Structure 1
Amino acid sequence: MTAKSKDSRPGGRSARVRSAVHQAVVDLVAEIGADKVTVPAVARRAGVHPSSVYRRWGTTAALLADVADSRQEEEAPELLGDLRQDLERAAVWTLADLSRPGGVAFFRAEVAPDVDDRRAGLRACLERVSARFRAPLEAAAGRGGTPPSLERVLDRVVAPLYFRVVFSVPGTDERYARGLAAELCAEHPAGSSG
């Protein structure tokens, strides 16, 4: 049986190996940093042979990208029914996700140019982040408001958060994240009506 046909099964050994390898990557990134993670170290931690990891992922960069793509996010905050509060909570959630151990490393791996399908990684990353903000915007529109566009939210809230976390700009904290959303809502006061 080829590796590809084994990988297509929903459970079994292949799923256990993938889960163990992914957990090993997450643990090692948190402990030593993504730049020091190697396939042999991941294999040792996961209790599998390095050839299994190389055969399935090929490179450390591809492995990091796969883990980034498959990481389970915490459940979205419940909508409160006020656009400003809902966008602030989504901004804080985004900041917390990116700031957690390995957050920037996994983001970089997902969009790295040496990964086979960089565009797919970029699209998946953008879709994941967009979904956090799409729900509050759609809820506000459903209440009769005129919220800002998703593109505007990405430009004014998400992009500054990613920039500041990736470049370790001081003062990038929960207060800053909430402030970005509040400023945007102040420019769109009709967005919260309903």
Structure 2
Amino acid sequence: MNEQPDAPTRPAPEPASPDRPAARRPGGRSARVRAAVHQAVTDLIAERGYGTFGVAEVAARAGVADSSVYRRWGSLEALLMDVVVSRLTERSPVPHTDSLADDLRAFAAKAAEDVSGPDGLALLRTVVTVLATGPSGEAARDRFLGARAEQLQAMLDRARARGEEPPEVLDVLDVVLAPIYLRMLFGVGPLTPQYVDTLVDRLLAARRPPS
């Protein structure tokens, strides 16, 4: 009987170490699908507004199957909130300077810029509409506010660690964010840098002890 030559053995991969980190596949298909679906939603909202399209059209425009969208997000409302929260937390992170006043001014300016952009008002109107859909709207509200509140709290905690006296998260929402959103939704005057700075001034003045 002829003996078969031994099959060549493949050397075992070297273990990961601090000097040789394990290879990772950057992003991958999941990240590409998410980006494509998010872009499809943003484009459809900017073109036609919320309530004029469904999951099937989002999937078709993103080049994925309907089942992929439902499997990942479950519903159109959940997908919309994921898009909005992603825009806030990934594209508009809370600033990190060495001063609470500078942090708040930069944060307020970016919030005004976000809702004044090409698709900012459409996304803001979408959030308001989704929030009015009952129990699913309440869950969307909690996620929308929770993501932003978590970032704001980190900014305020940094200020407190520096010895400053920061406001509460709800104060920032009430005095800074709410007027920006309402002014944009109702078209009551422009969001000028002077107006936005005035909101921050009001918030900071409320924190100062009476003279």
Go from structure 1 to structure 2 and tell me whether the alpha carbon gap of 1:79 and 1:106 turns closer, same or farther (over 3 Å shift). farther
User: For residues 188 and 137 of structure 2, what CA distance do their matches in structure 1 show?
Assistant: 26
Give per-residue Cα distances to partners, 1:139-174, cap 9 Å, x unaligned.
332222323222222221122122222222222333
Whether the 8 Å CA contact 1:111–1:122 is kept in 2: the answer is yes
Aligned length: 178
SS at 2:91 equivalent:
coil
Instruction: Please give the residue correspondences for 1:110-121 in structure 2 after superposition, counting only pairs within 5 Å.
Output: 111-114=131-134, 117-121=136-140
SS at 1:48 equivalent:
coil
Go from structure 1 to structure 2 and tell me whether the alpha carbon gap of 1:128 and 1:167 turns closer, same or farther (over 3 Å shift). farther
Name the larger-Rg structure: 2
Whether the 8 Å CA contact 1:91–1:157 is kept in 2: the answer is yes
Mapped pair 1:90 → 2:90: no
User: For residues 174 and 189 of structure 2, what CA distance do their matches in structure 1 show?
Assistant: 20
The residue number in structure 1 matching 2:178 is 159
User: For residues 61 and 137 of structure 2, what CA distance do their matches in structure 1 show?
Assistant: 27
Give how far 1:23 is off.
Answer: 1.7
Q: Which runs of 5+ in 2 are unaligned?
A: 1-26
Whether the 8 Å CA contact 1:64–1:109 is kept in 2: the answer is no
Give per-residue Cα distances to partners, 1:63-92, cap 9 Å, x unaligned.
4234324443333323132x2222111111
Whether the 8 Å CA contact 2:95–2:107 is kept in 1: the answer is yes
Q: Which runs of 5+ in 1 are unaligned?
A: 1-10
The residue number in structure 2 matching 1:108 is 128
The residue number in structure 1 matching 2:188 is 169
The residue number in structure 2 matching 1:43 is 59
Go from structure 1 to structure 2 and tell me whether the alpha carbon gap of 1:66 and 1:136 turns closer, same or farther (over 3 Å shift). closer
Instruction: Please give the residue correspondences for 1:16-95 in structure 2 after superposition, counting only pairs within 5 Å.
Output: 16-50=32-66, 53=69, 60-71=76-87, 72-81=90-99, 83-95=100-112
Go from structure 1 to structure 2 and tell me whether the alpha carbon gap of 1:131 and 1:36 turns closer, same or farther (over 3 Å shift). same
Q: What is the percent sequence identity of the aligned residues?
A: 40
Whether the 8 Å CA contact 1:68–1:109 is kept in 2: the answer is no
Whether the 8 Å CA contact 1:156–1:180 is kept in 2: the answer is yes
SS at 1:36 equivalent:
coil
The residue number in structure 1 matching 2:199 is 180
Give how far 1:26 is off.
Answer: 1.3
